[in-house]
A = this chain, B = another copy of it.
Amino acid sequence: MIERIGIVGGGQLGRMMTEAAKPLGFEVTVIDPVENCPAGQVGADQIQAPLSDLEAIDSLAHDVDVITWEIEHIPAEYLEYLANEGHDIEPDPHTLAIIQDKFIQKELLRNNGIPVAPYSEHLDESNFIGGGPFIVKSRKGGYDGRGNLVVTDLNRILIEDHFGETSVYVEQVLPFEAELSVIVARDKSGQTVAYPPVETVHEENICHTVVVAQEDSKLPITKQAIDIAQDTLKLLSGAGVFAIEMFVVNGQIVVNEIAPRVHNSGHHTIEANVTSQFEQQIRAVTGLPLGSTELRVGAAAMINILGTREKPLTREGLDRVLSRPDTHVHFYGKSSRPARKIGHITVLGGSKEYVKLEVSDARKELII
Residues of A within 8 A of B (CB): 1, 19, 22-25, 40-43, 274, 283, 287-289, 291-292, 296-297, 313, 315-316, 318-319, 322-323, 325-326, 328-331, 333, 343, 348
Contact = CB atoms under 8 A, between A and B. Distances in A.
Contacts of A322: 24, 283, 288-289, 291
11 contacts: A1-B316, A19-B23, A22-B333, A23-B331, A24-B315, A25-B333, A42-B42, A274-B348, A289-B322, A292-B326, A296-B296
A291 B19 CA distance: 21
B288 A330 contact: no
A241 to B, nearest CB: 16
B43 A318 contact: no
Nearest to A312: B3
Contact of A1 (B24, B315, B326): B315
Contacts of A288: 318-319, 322
Given A288-B322, A318-B288, A22 B1 contact: no
A57 B19 CA distance: 28
Contacts of A274: 326, 348
Contacts of A331: 22-25
B25 A318 contact: yes
Contacts of A318: 1, 24-25, 288
A343 to B, nearest CB: 8
Contacts of A328: 23
A288 B40 CA distance: 26
Nearest to A41: B43
A22 B292 CA distance: 26
A166 to B, nearest CB: 37
Contacts of A343: 25
Contact of A297 (B292, B296, B323): B296
Contact of A329 (B23, B319, B330): B23
A105 to B, nearest CB: 32
Contacts of A292: 325-326
Nearest to A328: B23
Contact of A313 (B19, B25, B43, B313): B25
Contacts of A329: 23-25
A300 to B, nearest CB: 12
A183 to B, nearest CB: 18
A325 B1 CA distance: 22
Given A288-B319, A289-B323, 4 more contacts: A1-B318, A22-B333, A287-B319, A291-B322
A187 to B, nearest CB: 10
B25 A41 contact: no
A334 to B, nearest CB: 10
A94 to B, nearest CB: 26
